[in-house]
Chain A
Amino acid sequence: MQPEHEQLARISAGDAAAFAAWASSAEAPLRRSLRPFAALCDTEAVLQEALLRVWQVAPRFVHDGRPNALLRFAVTAARNVAFSELRKVTPTATEVEALHRALDAQGEVTLSAPDPLLRAAIARCRDKLPAQPARALAGRLEGVGEDRALASSVGMSLNTFLQNVTRARRFLADCLARAGVDLDLELSP
């Protein structure tokens, strides 16, 4: 991982590759920071919007001298987007109270470093996938388009495609478990 200041300078200058590297490391901790909002707003949409705001603000961003400054800013941006979304669903007082308790309990955020062993284990399990789930998963991996188009690109109906993506993920989780890897544990802070 690049030194933070150098990476920030490149992102500020409009280097999309530097932003991509940072976003790949920031995605998991950012998503975890949004877990308390999971039942109240679409955290995937919130996360993408927050990352886009980071890119927009980066040229004017001033580092505060503490580690992970851009990530901490991204967490704040994501929470702001999420709270803005909450205004549309009018959560109950109990839900809001529970949300604030959960947010207050969150610890420091840090970027997630790539784990080559986990990467290799997942790749080994992917290679063992049955044909249909393998094709569906490949469709999801290769495209960010709408699911109907992805399904069509791999020659499946939408529902068959969705069922096969689910099957692929379950197969990966089971395969990883047999290899002694608990994906949920790997994803926890």
Chain B
Amino acid sequence: MSPDEALLVERVVSAHRERGADGAVRSHPAWHDLGAEGRRAAYEETARQRAAERALDPNAQSSTVKAVLARLSR
């Protein structure tokens, strides 16, 4: 994987996602710039990153869970 691809993968690993006009969670722009191999790598690295986040957070919440909790409404 090239250094540029590695940076794209790391951007996709972030839990930050914008919302579309319809309110739905949108794909990360960097995800679209990755090929199939990079997308699979982003998936695997995200799984590892979230496991570490859960382990290190006092409430066992990953950044995915925190991002979702920040958007709760009913």
Contacts and interface: CB of A to CB of B under 8 A. Distances in A.
B67 A144 contact: yes
A67 B28 CA distance: 34
Nearest to A84: B24
Interface of A (DSSP majority class): helix
B14 to A, nearest CB: 5
A69 interface: no
Contact of B74 (A55, A143, A173): A55
A85 B39 CA distance: 15
Contact of B52 (A34, A49, A122): A122
A30 B44 CA distance: 14
Interface residues of A, number: 56
Given A28-B50, A45-B17, A147 B11 contact: yes
Interface of B (DSSP majority class): helix
B55 A52 contact: no
A27 B65 contact: yes
Interface residues of B, number: 50
Interface string B60-74: 111111111111101
A187 B62 CA distance: 14
Contacts of A19: 69, 72
A42 B51 CA distance: 18
Contacts of A41: 27
Contacts of B36: 39
Given A20-B59, A140-B49, 13 more contacts: A20-B65, A24-B59, A24-B62, A39-B36, A42-B31, A43-B43, A44-B64, A118-B55, A122-B52, A169-B49, A183-B51, A184-B44, A184-B48
